[in-house]
Amino acid sequence: GATIGILGGGQLGRMLAIAAAQLGYRCHIYAPEEESVAAEVSAGFTRAPWSDGEALGTFAAACDVVTLEFENVPVGPLAAIPAAKLAPPARALEVAQDRLKEKCFAEQHGGRPAPFAQVDSPADLAAAIERIGTPGILKTRREGYDGKGQWRIAGPDEIDALELPADDLVYEGLVRFEAEFSVVLVRGRDGEVRFWDSPENVHRGGILATTTLPAPDTVTEHVAAARELAGKIAGSLDYVGVMTCEFFATEDGPVFNEMAPRVHNSGHWTIEGAETSQFENHIRAICGLPLGDTATIAPRIEMENLIGSDVERAEEILAEPGAHLHLYGKAEARDGRKMGHVTRLGR
């Protein structure tokens, strides 16, 4: 079998490597950190910084195709990887790494993000609040995940006390949503696009807590419009692999939140709950194989993230009929750290 290179060493890479192994491929992981739960289930591990173009080039030369599980890989050094070997393309990373660019990109493709403004100075923030109003959220444009790098602003008087971080920022109005949902799609090398059913996603403290199917009507009525946007974005990027867009369901339609150029936590349910999982279809897409059926195969599905000390419930979960436990093999159950997940299939 061929060799797949994966940039990033976390649980998404681990689940990709497991799916790849089932199809006869072997994986090599590239990551800067010493601990890699992806490398533990892979055939090779290059530990080097993201900025090391030479190491990236050597890594790519040993792989037939290179993909990623971490969206914040700096785009510059990626030039060391031949474009034909890299899926998804670097352009997808460039857009998805910057909240300002991704909102503009969604708008250009007919999507509607929350009202937003670029913030580079205290004066910009005052002007943004004047125009957009409060409550709102100030976010770093780059590198945030699991709600990190975000400050909620309840009223205009709060900005005096706020110490602006040095990063580039974006301010956005708080969306009063009925529910949150995601569109997870896979796009093949020939441009074929398939969608999984959209789940309802519930976040706690900025971190995904649960993903549930079927989603309520408040979500399903917006799925067609959300898919249209996600499909356009993927097509315009000449995307190959699994891509995810997060949305807020509102009375006025779907509001685009952000995109992820990779497999996504809200797609973990597809391992047991769909004919073909997001991980397998990502491997199929980047390897140029025919895509698998994305149909949901159970009437009710819930994915629950095991965050921090939640992982202490693992034994209880193992005793539950219909519960599928996944542990990522991380050494330390720090607060807010995704340690595993459980998918429950119901009738």
Binding residues for ligand ATP, rule: CB under 6 A, are 114, 137, 144-148, 172, 174-175, 180, 203, 206, 246, 257-258
Name which of 258 and 272 has its Cβ closer to Mg ion. 258
CB of 201 to Mg ion, least distance (A): 9
Name which of 53 and 147 has its Cβ closer to ligand ATP. 147
Degrees to nearest 5, angle at CA 198 with 195 and 201:
140
Describe the strand order of the beta sheet including 150-153 as a list of residue ranges: 116-119, 169-173, 136-140, 150-153
- Per-residue x/- track, 225-264, Mg ion (CB under 5 A): ---------------------x-----------x------
CB of 144 to Mg ion, least distance (A): 6
Q: How far apart are CA 336 and CA 89, in angstroms?
A: 31
Name which of 86 and 114 has its Cβ closer to ligand ATP. 114
Annotated binding site: 99, 139, 144-150, 172-175, 180, 203, 257-258
CB of 203 to ligand ATP, least distance (A): 4
Residues 6+ apart with CB under 8 A from 346: 298, 299, 300, 301, 302, 322
Q: Please report where in the chains the tokens 């921090």 appear, as a residue.
A: 308
CA dihedral 101, 104, 106, 111 (to 10 degrees): 160
Closest CA to 152 of 142, 141, 162: 162
DSSP percent split of the chain into helix, strand, coil, nearest 5? 30, 30, 35
Distances (CA, A) of 181 to 38, 167, 223: 27, 28, 9
Identify what 114 binds: ligand ATP, Mg ion, none; CB under 5 to 8 Å per kind. ligand ATP
Name which of 26 and 337 has its Cβ closer to ligand ATP. 337
Q: Encoding tokens for residue 151? A: 């400050």
CB of 150 to ligand ATP, least distance (A): 6
Residue nearest to ligand ATP (CB): 175
Annotated binding site for ATP: 99, 139, 144-150, 172-175, 180, 203, 257-258
Name which of 256 and 279 has its Cβ closer to ligand ATP. 256
**Binding positions for Mg ion, rule: CB under 5 A:** 246, 258
